[in-house]
Amino acid sequence: MPEPAAGGGYGAIIAGAALVSAGWARDFVRVAGPDAERYLQGQLSQDVAQLAPGGTAWSLVLQPQGKLDVFVRCTRLGDNEFVLDSDRGMGATLVHRLLRFRLRTKADVDQLDWQVLAVRGPLAPAPAGLAIPFRWSGLVGYDLAGEAPQLPEPLATATAEDHEAARIEAGFPRHGAELDERTIPAEAGLVEATVSFTKGCYTGQELVARIDSRGSNVPRRLRGLLLSGPAAPGTPLFNGDDGKEVGRLTSMARSPARGWVGLGYASRAVEPGAGLVVGDGLASAVVHRLPLFAAAS
């Protein structure tokens, strides 16, 4: 679990309870009909058949070649009804991808006009309405979802910057930053939380299974970074010894607990503890395994 942290909205996210005022938005897609479970079981990496009504699980919707289409959370609302949510802006991509493989299947796929209220923190009050649990490497809470979700009680407010720092420290990847159509799930550290290796076949399974059978060796990995100063996402990372480019910064924020923190991909030869140069000497960075909650500032 995260260690006690500084006060304010960030501190409430880590050790109390807070409403995230901005910086967390989701698209929602409903899949419903007599064949909904069977269809999603063949399209998602997670074993959705094992979800009871109200149950939820992180999952992947993959390309046939095994690279990422959409990182989703799947919630079962009833026997024949599921809701998938993803980063804002990915809903249309998700609908298009699901419809592409919906052949002779009695299941409707529709994007919902839903809103979300993100509540984070280990002391979050009992939710009201549809509350979708959120848990990732010590960052906990829930999302209230629907046409007009309501908070159960007033809460402290956390800013987008507060949430971004906590997201980075937890190592939770985001589309448009850490994730795109070229992403191999094992590179982003997604497999453990999103893949069932005991269910039946699903689209894109072959690459995931092959990499797992080979010890999850991939050319690069998503790492946590403690930086000496700010740098823009997209800035290249260089080996501090020989100056060779070994990766790229994907996200950066100011953490009240740890200073400048970032996420970035680094080649598998770069071990935790390595020192990197950020850009043209803009800053230096120390590589850490995720999550960053245990890293000293």
Report the CATH fold assignment for 219-297: Elongation Factor Tu (Ef-tu); domain 3 (2.40.30)
Q: Is the peptide bond before 125 cis (omega within 30 degrees of 0)?
A: no
3-state secondary structure of 75: strand
Is residue 3 pLDDT above 60, yes or no?
no
Residues 6 or more apart from 104 whose CB is under 8 A from it? none
The one-letter amino acid code at 119 reads: V
The residue type of 203 is T
Token pair of 11, please? 């501190």
Q: What percent of the chain has pLDDT over 70?
A: 97
Kindly tell me if the per-residue pLDDT of 269 is higher than 50: yes
Q: Are the beta carbons of 290 and 222 closer than 8 angstroms?
A: yes
Q: Determine the 3-state secondary structure of 92 from DSSP.
A: helix
Strands 283-288 and 18-20: unpaired
- What pLDDT does residue 6 have? 61
- In Å, the largest CA–CA distance within the chain is 59
pLDDT number for residue 68: 98
Q: Rounded CA gap, 43 and 147, in Å? A: 27
Residue 216: what pLDDT? 80
Q: Look up the CATH architecture of domain 8-170.
A: 2-Layer Sandwich (3.30)
HSE toward the beta carbon, residue 15, CA cutoff 13 A: 10
| pLDDT the model gives residue 5 | 53
- Return the pLDDT at 1: 43
In this predicted model, what pLDDT tens digit does every residue of 12-64 receive, in sequence order?
Answer: 999 999 999 999 999 999 999 999 999 999 999 999 999 999 999 999 999 99
Share of the chain above pLDDT 90, in %: 91
Spatial separation of the C-alpha atoms in residues 55 and 237, rounded to whole Å: 40
Structure tokens at 266: 């680094």
Asked whether the predicted pLDDT for residue 215 surpasses 90, the reply is no
| pLDDT at 96 (0 to 100) | 97
Same topology, domains 8-170 and 219-297? Answer is no
pLDDT > 60? residue 2:
no
What pLDDT does 294 receive?
81
- Of the candidates 141, 127, 137, the residue with the CA atom closest to the CA atom of residue 12: 141
Residue 240: which pLDDT band, with cuts at 50, 70 and 90?
Answer: confident
Provide the token pair at 229.
């100063």
Domains in the chain: boundaries: 8-170, 219-297
pLDDT for the residue 210: 94
- HSE, CB side, 13 Å, CA atoms: give it for residue 125: 11
Per-residue pLDDT of 68-102, as tens digits, reads: 999 999 999 999 999 999 999 999 999 999 999 89
Q: Which residue has the tokens 């998938």?
A: 84
Residue 204, SS3 per DSSP: coil
The structure's pTM equals 0.95
Find tokens 């260089």 and name the residue: 238
Mean pLDDT of the chain: 95
- Counting every residue, how long is the chain? 297
